[in-house]
Structure 1
């Protein structure tokens, strides 16, 4: 259950550690933003932590099925510190757990030469794609910024706990409109060490979930642009409705 260490860290107090980063570098041309989802009414707003880390998200994902997520990472920073664009998939194969909402989960984290070991997980009720995405994201971000990953994890934990906006929205799912939640946080905004983050202190994390979708996770995005709109980092994951 290695990848769930990050989820626990995001929700528990950890010491702040310094970040060391290289100077800012130029970025590529801007990318047009996605269309804003339609808002919906809701009588109660759950917390970001509850939606992302405390729900039994696999309760509506049957054993014997596979959840497939399309993944994209690209960056316009000069000299390509994040590496070439990566367009791949993350697949979760679900088998019966000990009972209830738990599932035994096999993970295919990317494919071919991009693949690296992850999982498996036993009797897991939550969707591991969230910590898998965040762990991979923060490993690369810490490397590029020459930062201590624990500092970055603490900032995201605090952002989700104290600075996240949770909004009820409507999304399209297999030809119909369903209720969903959108969680948005900018955890590095105003950080004391923001000037050492190569302009990526405006990194915005957006999560979209819905109990109508198997595994509940519809999409995850981490995005940062420079003041001219150039792409510093675009990293996103989305549930493949055709494959899932």
Structure 2
């Protein structure tokens, strides 16, 4: 990795960490609209008849309203490999989700990466690594284009609310086939403002979730294609994939669980 790329990565990581819970809460709010929109109207004192709420799309339910951490023992760490590839440069990180209460019953699962613990809003039923990945992506889009983060949040939300196809697929866990579901969206493909950031017009987001994977998330990935929408030779790819889990970590004396430096042994999903 070149010095310039490394410096940009450090700046991006710091910017992401500084946004904290407020930015993540904004993402959750936008992802769960129209409920969030109604709450905002009520808070601002809006009056008058409102349009009927559109049903939440199956893709939104699968990603954000599913209790992915059910069945996970307390003090379990889920490890994910984060790989950012912009040929010829490549960087990696390990992202950890610590499930503090059994099944995340207290909505107290935490996410950490190389920058430390990432602040998240409470009472999320989903695996928070999904929101971590999307918020990280949105921060990157904002930095790369100079656009407004709320705009990119809305484009992703609209793409998921449009009921994209949920495809049944099969992944490999320790060489064994496991049933999974895949969602693919291209939020900027028909964006009327796409001419402002043409490199990202065909950017593709892929979500692969499987009940047979601890935490429910097998792979989260974005691809920015090369010239003429060449996805075989992408300009940039970012992927977060499940690596394994370590169960029954012992909480430290002051109540903030710690993680081992070495990756834990556990089932691995093939990419």
Give TM class, smaller chain.
Answer: 0.7 to 0.9
The answer to whether residue 32 in structure 2 is matched with residue 11 in structure 1 is: yes
- Cα gap change, 1:147 to 1:100, in 2 (>3 Å): closer
- Cα gap change, 1:241 to 1:116, in 2 (>3 Å): closer
| Structure having the higher Rg | 2
**2:211 aligned counterpart, secondary structure:** coil
Partner in structure 1 of residue 182 of structure 2? 182
Q: Is the 8 A contact 1:170 1:180 kept in 2?
A: yes
Partner in structure 1 of residue 217 of structure 2? 217
Partner in structure 2 of residue 85 of structure 1? 90
Q: Is the 8 A contact 1:186 1:202 kept in 2?
A: yes
Structure 1 residue ranges without an equivalent (≥5): 16-45, 78-83
Q: CA–CA distance in 1 between the matches of 2:83 and 2:60? A: 24
- Cα gap change, 1:195 to 1:121, in 2 (>3 Å): closer
Partner in structure 1 of residue 75 of structure 2? 64
1:46-91 deviation per Cα after TM superposition (whole angstroms, max 9, x unaligned): 81111100101110322121000100113259xxxxxx63310110
Partner in structure 2 of residue 237 of structure 1? 240
Partner in structure 2 of residue 96 of structure 1? 101
Of the two structures, which has the highest relative contact order with CA contacts closer than 8 Å and spacing of 6 or more? 1
Question: Runs (4+) of structure 1 moved beyond 6 Å?
Answer: none
**Where do 1:140-219 residues align within 5 Å?**
140-162=140-162, 164-219=164-219
- Cα gap change, 1:91 to 1:227, in 2 (>3 Å): same
**2:191 aligned counterpart, secondary structure:** coil
Give the length in aligned residue pairs.
203
Partner in structure 2 of residue 107 of structure 1? 111
Structure with bigger helix share is: 2
Q: Is the 8 A contact 2:64 2:125 kept in 1?
A: no
1:117-148 deviation per Cα after TM superposition (whole angstroms, max 9, x unaligned): 41366565321001111111111111111101
Q: CA–CA distance in 2 between the matches of 1:148 and 1:100? A: 33
RMSD between aligned residues: 2.6
Structure with bigger strand share is: 1
Structure 2 residue ranges without an equivalent (≥5): 1-20, 38-56, 246-263, 267-271
Partner in structure 2 of residue 29 of structure 1? none
Q: Is the 8 A contact 1:59 1:102 kept in 2?
A: no
- Cα gap change, 1:118 to 1:100, in 2 (>3 Å): closer
Q: CA–CA distance in 1 between the matches of 2:125 and 2:162? A: 25
The TM-score normalised by the length of structure 1 is: 0.74
**Where do 1:21-60 residues align within 5 Å?**
47-60=58-71
Q: CA–CA distance in 2 between the matches of 1:123 and 1:202? A: 33
Q: CA–CA distance in 2 between the matches of 1:76 and 1:192? A: 29
